[in-house]
């Protein structure tokens, strides 16, 4: 696991002691990476004690992580919370101590990471040089920033930026409040990087500057971590600064578009077909037969045989996929559907023409509900759709299809704080590529239809993950 993870902490320029701590190590069996940042709260000694107790509890619980990962991580926080509460009862000087923490458990073999979060430490995902904040700051200023009321610079300078709403050590029993701990999971693809940090970094260094530092290709994780600490100190170092980096150092797969041999064209074709192409009839270009030469008669015969094999393979594949085509064909509208509306054209073009991976939809640009008369197509490797204000997609009165149709090649698509209304199917997705946050499905027959592309004649193993329904939006939980 050389250069797969690295952690560093620094006291900063103004503090006398360091109330931060971190975890950056592999589990005993070497199957997982534990990455965690803990920021202590509560005075000169109390914060340090709370952070240390939380670290010990987490490592003890993750000695052998088996079973469902999210419940294990929630249990880590509950055990840490109890240790802090016990210490507060025994030592009067520590009665105000607590800590905030962000914990990730990374399954490199299966390209997944799982996280649990309380407070205002942060978790970022870097993919294709785009940095996306995964965790939500559980603070008043965090709520203001994520809801669009203040920008990043204003949040960093806000006088209440250090006031938190949730922490380990605040509540007697976290299990009773299932909304207290933010949890989730996401694909962690070859080349991806995770950044966990305390607010000593995020309050001093902008996300743009952080991105510049950690995308420096020639730097090791140690160098990147050191540069982030130096950047925060250069801006004043007003708090303790802690950084943990973890990288999936597998070779990123890149395929060149090549024409396979006719006899191999349909080998290991996925059983589930792309909904975008589901209703498109199979067509073949007519090959012009070359003028036969006396010495090339065997070539003509071979070409004829290959053509017959090619056509037979296509007919067989069509018959195999016929039932699946009927399931997902609703994603494509009939040819005589009415013209697209202005807002749905605008949304589709915004997705198609996006340069990076993050699309921000503001209600100033989409003031009215977006009337959908055919599925919004997503054909990107990675896309994060976030919103400012109320954004709602509503099915046209005569449209009976889906709101979003994700291409089978999508690897990570996140929809954040959208409303989807009156659709037969809210989202058609493939292969665990979909991540939802604060998405509401109103009057949808099926909220999410998740399809899996699996090569034929193979042994299949794995499990299916589910979405969790929340009674309160995530942003309001932080208020």
Residue with more model confidence, 386 or 218: 386
Q: Which of 200, 196, 199, 47 is nearest to 133 (CA)?
A: 196
Residue with more model confidence, 36 or 322: 36
pLDDT reported for residue 255: 43
Query: Residue 478 above 80 pLDDT?
Result: no
Instruction: Assign 223 a pLDDT band (cuts: 50, 70, 90).
Output: very high
Q: How far apart are CA 182 and CA 437, in angstroms?
A: 11
Q: Determine the angle formed by the axes of helices 221-234 and 207-214, rounding to 10 degrees.
A: 150
Q: Which two tokens stand for residue 451?
A: 């399809």
Q: Which two tokens stand for residue 49?
A: 């004690």
Instruction: Assign 468 a pLDDT band (cuts: 50, 70, 90).
Output: low
Q: Which of 207, 209, 200, 208 is nearest to 232 (CA)?
A: 200
Query: Residue 224 above 50 pLDDT?
Result: yes
Distance of CA 190 to the CA centre of its chain: 14
Q: For the segment 50-76, what is each residue's pLDDT rounded down to a tens digit? A: 999 999 999 999 987 878 899 999 999
CB 129 within 8 A of CB 84: no
Task: Provide the percentage of residues in the chain whose pLDDT is more than 70.
Answer: 77
Q: How far apart are the first and last CA of the chain?
A: 40
pLDDT reported for residue 476: 40
pLDDT reported for residue 69: 92
CB 1 within 8 A of CB 221: no
Q: DSSP character for 168?
A: B
- What radius of gyration, in Å, describes the C-alpha atoms of the chain? 26
Q: Which two tokens stand for residue 247?
A: 């990288």
Query: Residue 471 above 70 pLDDT?
Result: no
CB 166 within 8 A of CB 94: no
The CA dihedral of 419, 425, 430, 436, to the nearest 10 degrees, is 20
Q: For the segment 331-340, what is each residue's pLDDT rounded down to a tens digit? A: 444 444 567 8
Q: How far apart are CA 390 and CA 364, in angstroms?
A: 9
pLDDT reported for residue 162: 84
Q: For the segment 105-124, what is each residue's pLDDT rounded down to a tens digit? A: 999 889 999 999 999 999 99
Three-state secondary structure call for residue 177: coil
Q: For the segment 173-208, what is each residue's pLDDT rounded down to a tens digit? A: 775 545 789 999 999 999 999 999 999 999 999 999
Q: How far is CA 28 from CA 5, 239, 280, 306, 309, in A?
A: 15, 33, 51, 54, 53
Q: How far apart are CA 329 and CA 398, in angstroms?
A: 16
Q: For the segment 69-105, what is each residue's pLDDT rounded down to a tens digit? A: 999 999 999 999 999 999 999 988 888 899 999 999 9
Q: For the segment 412-426, what is each residue's pLDDT rounded down to a tens digit? A: 898 998 999 999 999
Average pLDDT over residues 126-142: 92
Query: Residue 125 above 80 pLDDT?
Result: yes
Q: How far is CA 4 from CA 191, 221, 445, 469, in A?
A: 11, 8, 43, 34
Q: For the segment 227-281, what is each residue's pLDDT rounded down to a tens digit? A: 999 999 999 999 999 999 999 988 765 544 444 444 343 444 443 434 333 333 3
Average pLDDT over residues 290-310: 61
Query: Residue 310 above 60 pLDDT?
Result: yes
The residues with which 446 forms a beta bridge, in sequence order, are 425
Domains, the chain, in order of start with CATH, read 5-247 (3.60.40.10), 266-292+332-458 (no CATH)
pLDDT reported for residue 294: 42
Q: How far apart are CA 167 and CA 21, in angstroms?
A: 15
Query: Residue 21 above 80 pLDDT?
Result: yes
Q: Which of 46-50, 406-410, 454-458 has the lowest mean pLDDT?
A: 454-458
β-strands 419-421, 440-442: how paired?
A: parallel
Q: Which of 100-104, 341-345, 364-368, 469-473 has the highest mean pLDDT?
A: 100-104
Q: How far is CA 197 from CA 25, 228, 229, 250, 379, in A?
A: 16, 10, 10, 24, 32
CB atoms inside a 10 Å sphere around CB 314: 16
Average pLDDT over residues 318-342: 53
Query: Residue 37 above 80 pLDDT?
Result: yes
Residue with more model confidence, 438 or 214: 214
Q: Which two tokens stand for residue 45?
A: 């000694």
Q: Which residue has the tokens 């991105």?
A: 211
CA atoms within 13 A on the CB side of 471: 4
Cβ neighbours of residue 239 under 8 Å, at least 6 residues apart? 12, 14, 15, 162, 198, 199, 200, 203, 204
Percentages helix, strand, coil for the chain (3-state, rounded to 5) are 30, 25, 45
Task: Provide the percentage of residues in the chain whose pLDDT is more than 90.
Answer: 50
Three-state secondary structure call for residue 313: helix
Q: What is the mean pLDDT of the chain?
A: 81
């Amino acid at each position: 696991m050389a250069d797969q993870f690295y952690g560093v902490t620094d006291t900063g320029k103004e503090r006398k002691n360091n109330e931060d701590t971190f975890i950056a190590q592999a589990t005993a069996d070497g199957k997982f990476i534990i990455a965690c940042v803990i920021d202590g709260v509560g005075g000169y000694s109390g914060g340090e004690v709370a952070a240390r107790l939380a670290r010990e509890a987490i490592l003890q619980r993750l000695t052998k992580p088996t079973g469902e990962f999210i419940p294990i991580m929630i249990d880590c926080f509950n055990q840490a919370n109890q240790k802090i509460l016990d210490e507060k009862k025994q030592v009067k000087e520590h009665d105000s101590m607590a800590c905030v923490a962000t914990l990730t458990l990374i399954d490199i073999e299966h390209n997944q990471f799982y996280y649990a979060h309380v407070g205002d430490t942060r978790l970022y995902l870097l993919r294709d040089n785009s940095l996306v904040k995964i965790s939500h700051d559980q603070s008043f200023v965090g709520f203001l920033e994520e809801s669009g009321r203040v920008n990043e610079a204003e949040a960093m300078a806000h006088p209440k930026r250090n006031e938190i709403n949730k922490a380990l050590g605040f509540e007697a029993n976290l299990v009773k409040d299932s909304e207290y701990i933010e949890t989730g999971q996401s694909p962690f693809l070859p080349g991806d990087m995770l950044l966990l940090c305390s607010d000593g970094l995020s309050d001093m260094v902008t996300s743009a500057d952080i991105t510049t530092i950690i995308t420096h290709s020639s730097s090791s994780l140690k160098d990147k971590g050191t540069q982030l600490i130096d950047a925060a100190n250069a801006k004043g170092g007003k708090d303790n600064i802690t950084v943990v980096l973890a990288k999936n150092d597998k070779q990123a797969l890149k395929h060149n578009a090549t024409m396979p041999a006719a006899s191999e064209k349909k080998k290991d074709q996925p059983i589930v077909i792309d909904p975008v192409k589901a209703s498109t009839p199979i067509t073949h270009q007519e090959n012009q037969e070359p003028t036969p030469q006396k010495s090339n008669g065997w070539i003509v015969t071979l070409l004829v045989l290959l053509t017959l094999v090619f056509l037979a393979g296509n007919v067989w594949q069509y018959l195999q996929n016929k039932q699946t085509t009927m399931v997902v064909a609703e994603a494509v509208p009939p040819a005589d559907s009415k013209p697209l509306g202005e807002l749905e054209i605008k949304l589709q073009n915004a997705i198609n023409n996006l340069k990076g991976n993050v699309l921000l939809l503001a209600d100033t640009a989409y003031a009215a509900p977006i009337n959908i008369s055919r599925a919004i197509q997503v054909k990107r490797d990675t896309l994060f759709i976030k919103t400012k204000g109320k954004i709602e997609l509503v099915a046209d009165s005569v449209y009976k299809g889906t709101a979003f149709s994700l291409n089978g090649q999508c690897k990570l698509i996140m929809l954040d704080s959208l409303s989807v209304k009156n659709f037969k199917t809210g989202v058609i997705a493939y292969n665990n590529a979909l991540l939802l946050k604060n998405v509401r499905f109103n009057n949808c027959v099926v909220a999410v239809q998740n399809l899996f592309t699996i090569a034929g004649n193979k042994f299949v193993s794995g499990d299916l993950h589910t979405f969790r329904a929340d009674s309160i939006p995530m942003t309001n939980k932080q208020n």
